């Protein structure tokens, strides 16, 4: 069983929140570039521009900031998708905007791919929880589309993971593997054509 990280109370002042965020931003750069095992608290505080004593006001050990970072990236991704899909009137439009929002997030946080994959070996519960949380929200939306007869009746659990996998690999191909990293609009539209041919309920 994974040992739970030692938590510190979240800061209550603007300055405290800003300092904690600087540490998380620095951790994103260090863990993403060096990897978990080669990263160190010393490197993180140097990148954040704070003293080592300040670090321990927010996190007890290296693993704690790594777990907090994965959770922070998850919240940021979900917020990007919520904002990107706000106001969409159909599930098809939600899917289109949701893919765009995911790719925008990857463009902003290209190191998130490496960080989340490292989580499998640092804290498997956190790794699984990251994807389960994303899939849970996705599944609810797909179920609603099926209830509204927008989509065919399919297994929403399997479908949520399949669609997440597609987004993951498209982002990897066009954002992570090329410079400048961006997903062409033509790719998104081709992707939507293929998906809607399989998902849209017959007669719609």
Q: Per-residue pLDDT tens for 97-122? A: 999 999 999 999 999 999 999 999 99
What band does 200 get if pLDDT is binned at 50, 70 and 90?
confident
Residues 154 and 106 in one domain: yes
**For the chain, how far is it from start to end, CA to CA, in angstroms?**
48
Residue numbers of the domain that contains 192: 62-199
Based on the structure, what is the number of domains in the chain?
A: 2
DSSP state of 51: -
Euclidean distance between CA atoms 24 and 47, whole angstroms: 10
pLDDT, position 142: 96
Residues 25 and 92 in one domain: no
**What distance lies between CA 47 and its chain's CA centroid?**
23
Residues 107 and 42 in one domain: no
In a domain, residue 4? The reply is no
Residues 88 and 155 in one domain: yes
**What is the value of pTM for the model shown?**
0.91
Taking each helix axis from N to C end, the angle separating 62-85 and 124-147, rounded to the nearest 10 degrees, works out to: 10
Residues 110 and 122 in one domain: yes
In a domain, residue 195? The reply is yes
**For the purposes of burial, counting CB atoms within 10 Å of the CB of 84, is it exposed (0-12), middle (13-18) or buried (19 or more)?**
buried
Number of Cβ within 10 Å of residue 196's Cβ equals 16
Q: Tokens at residue 142, please?
A: 């797909």
In a domain, residue 5? The reply is no
In a domain, residue 3? The reply is no
pLDDT, position 181: 87
Residues 51 and 67 in one domain: no
In a domain, residue 17? The reply is yes
Residues 54 and 122 in one domain: no
Euclidean distance between CA atoms 168 and 39, whole angstroms: 25
Residues 36 and 136 in one domain: no
Residue 4 has pLDDT above 90, yes or no: no
Residues 145 and 83 in one domain: yes
Euclidean distance between CA atoms 32 and 73, whole angstroms: 12
Residues 95 and 30 in one domain: no
Beta bridge partners of 151: 200
Residues 74 and 161 in one domain: yes
Residues 149 and 69 in one domain: yes
Euclidean distance between CA atoms 164 and 182, whole angstroms: 18
Q: Return the H-helix or E-strand segment holding 121.
A: helix 112-122
In a domain, residue 2? The reply is no
User: Among residues of the chain, what percentage have pLDDT more than 70?
Assistant: 95
What is the arithmetic mean of pLDDT over 173-197? 93
Are the C-beta atoms of residues 26 and 32 closer than 8 Å to each other?
no
Q: Which residue has the tokens 């949520």?
A: 160
3-state secondary structure of 200: strand
């Amino acid at each position: 069983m994974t040992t739970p990280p030692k938590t510190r109370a979240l800061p209550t002042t603007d300055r405290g929140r800003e300092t904690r965020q600087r540490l998380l931003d620095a951790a994103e750069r260090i863990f993403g570039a060096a990897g978990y095992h080669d990263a160190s608290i010393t490197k993180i505080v140097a990148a954040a521009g704070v003293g080592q004593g300040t670090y321990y006001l927010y996190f007890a050990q290296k693993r704690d900031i790594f777990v907090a970072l994965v959770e922070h990236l998850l919240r940021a991704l979900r917020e990007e998708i919520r904002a990107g899909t706000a106001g969409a009137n159909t599930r098809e439009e939600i899917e289109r905007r949701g893919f765009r929002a995911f790719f925008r997030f990857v463009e902003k946080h290209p190191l998130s791919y490496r960080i989340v994959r490292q989580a499998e070996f640092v804290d498997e519960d956190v790794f699984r929880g990251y994807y389960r949380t994303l899939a849970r929200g996705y599944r609810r939306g797909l179920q609603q589309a099926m209830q509204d007869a927008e989509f065919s009746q399919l297994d929403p659990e399997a479908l949520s993971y399949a669609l997440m996998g597609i987004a993951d690999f498209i982002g990897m191909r066009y954002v992570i593997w090329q410079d400048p990293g961006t997903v062409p609009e033509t790719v998104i539209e081709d992707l939507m054509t293929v998906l809607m041919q399989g998902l849209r309920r017959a007669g719609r």
